Amino acid sequence: MLIDGFTLDVAALTRLARDPARTRVTLDPQAAGRMKASADLKDRLVDEGAVIYGVTTGFGDSAHRRVSAGRASALQDGLIQFLLTGAGSRCPDEVVRAMIAIRANCLARGVSAARPEVAELLVALLEHDLLPEVPERGSVGASGDLVPSSYLAAALVGEGQVRLRGRTVPAAEALHARGLEPLVLRAKEGLALVNGTSFMTAYAALAVHDAHRLAFAAEVCTALASQALGGNAHHFAAFLGEHKPHPGQVRSASHIHQFLAGSALTGVSAIEDRIGSATAERRIQDRYSVRCAPQVIGVLHDTLAWVEPWVEREINSANDNPLFDTASGEVFSGGNFYGGHIAQAMDSLKVAVAGITDLLDRQLAQVVDEKLSGGLPSNLVPEGGTAHGYKGMQIACSSFAAEALKQAAPATVFSRSTEAHNQDKVSMGSIAARDSRTVVELTAHVTAVVLHALCQAVELRGVDRLSPATKEVWKLVREHVAFLDADRPLDQELDALAGVILSGELEATCHQQTPPDRIDVETADGTRRTVR
């Protein structure tokens, strides 16, 4: 991975965050040159006696107070100290890795007046997997993620705690053990480290990556649910999308339609299964949680289509203040630290993902209820008596779904005035991004429950009657969990299936059967275009 300030994307960032041993990170030499030029400009302006916010003035509502050039370094150290006020659980390692990489990438644009040595030490933290202990709570999302970012800055100067090979040790000790020297901050460098959106964007990038896989998994579950319930494949016909051509809806319907190709369990008048029961007369329209699945999942696809570019623009932005233009020699104060785009993106993403949670929870409710399932046994237990089947699963799933729906409430509307009304409109982007990650995690567990149950249901119907694509899904699931014919602990099985979903293993299995599609849709002006 080349840290150059312009080309880092969600996929590469996620690989680094989750598989650091397989990713070598380097600072682009051209980026180092840009950083040096902006730092040199700052030094020259300070020598000339220029008044520069956060360099020769105080911070926030103290911006009117002048600071002498001789105290500029001490000013940066003090900034870090007074911001170390976070609380709550420590960030997961993958989030901290992403945060470090994003901060280095932002500085690499070369307009923040930080020396190359600052980015190089951030890269070294990634190389040695030295991860600062960063608490999750404390940011209002402007001026950037000040509080959590101060813990990253503290580690760079040899203060605070870091995780090293699973142990928590003092940062100075860890740096020394890896042959690294703590930074001695120069003017502006502390501000360049804490004044930005890297914390919220780290959460956002990982949530975006995982949401793509949840959308795909929801389509797989819908194809299984349609077969388990003797549903109607025509609900996913291309004709419907041609006359409501939202790209996400068209894409989702096409996937489900492909997954159902060759099934002997859809569109039949009655289902005879291995347990000897039959449905009543076939429903000509399935319940909404199956019939309207493309319209629900499509919203997530289309949300991701605009959210991911927003996140990647933020990853590749200079989002601190002030910024230095080496071409003109000017310094510009502004609000690039404001996390509004990430906040809005994450509020939208978590609502779209929560819609998937609710959809799948309703599908589960159908297959476990003998009054709704069309002949499947209650709780999917082939024999009654002491076995309880999916009772506990549904209780847990309802809890996961309820919490996800609660977390979907918007954070952006809760702006508070801080810093004596200097920072009187803030984004709450970090809260929106953390909530989005929580909703994604809960939805992954809901999806695991539903996938577990649906594979049980279609096995009761007869695996030999499944479509080829979903039969491969059933085989994959059976590699991790066995048929449920007696009560047993299920928590580890659900964790395993969540891993199958989020790792991309489920998607890879399906693509072997149904290659990624290209779909033509008609637009409002009568022309046709291709949707992937």
Displacement of CA 76 from its chain's centroid (Å): 32
What distance in Å separates the CA atoms of residue 357 and residue 7, rounded to the nearest whole number? 33
SS (H, E, C) 363-374: HHHHHHCCCCCC
DSSP lists the bridge partners of residue 26 as 2
Contact 177, 287 (CB under 8 A): no
Q: How many CA atoms lie within 13 A of 307 on its CB side?
A: 30
Contact 404, 443 (CB under 8 A): yes
Q: Is 53 a catalytic residue?
A: yes
Q: DSSP per residue over 413-468, as a string?
A: GG---BTTTTB-S---HHHHHHHHHHHHHHHHHHHHHHHHHHHHHHHHH-GGGS-H
List the end-to-end C-alpha distance of the chain, in Å, as a whole number: 27
- Tokens representing 204 are 């956002």
With 0-12 / 13-18 / 19 or more C-beta atoms within 10 angstroms meaning exposed / middle / buried, residue 415 is middle
- The label of the residue with tokens 């090979």 reads 165
Contact 311, 345 (CB under 8 A): yes
Catalytic choice (53, 151, 288, 338):
53
Q: What is the CA radius of gyration of the chain?
A: 27
Helix (H, G, I), strand (E, B) or coil at 375: coil
DSSP lists the bridge partners of residue 170 as 161
Alpha carbon separation from 396 to 340, 377, 391, 446, 494 (Å, rounded): 34, 20, 9, 8, 11
Task: Give residue 138's region: left, alpha or beta (phi > 0; psi -120 to 50).
Answer: left
Q: Which residues contact 482 (CB under 8 A, 6 or more apart)?
A: none
Instruction: Count other Cβ atoms within 10 Å, centred on residue 173.
Output: 13
Alpha carbon separation from 213 to 19, 500, 503 (Å, rounded): 18, 10, 8
- Tokens representing 5 are 């300030």
- Tokens representing 21 are 């041993």
Q: What are the catalytic residues?
A: 53
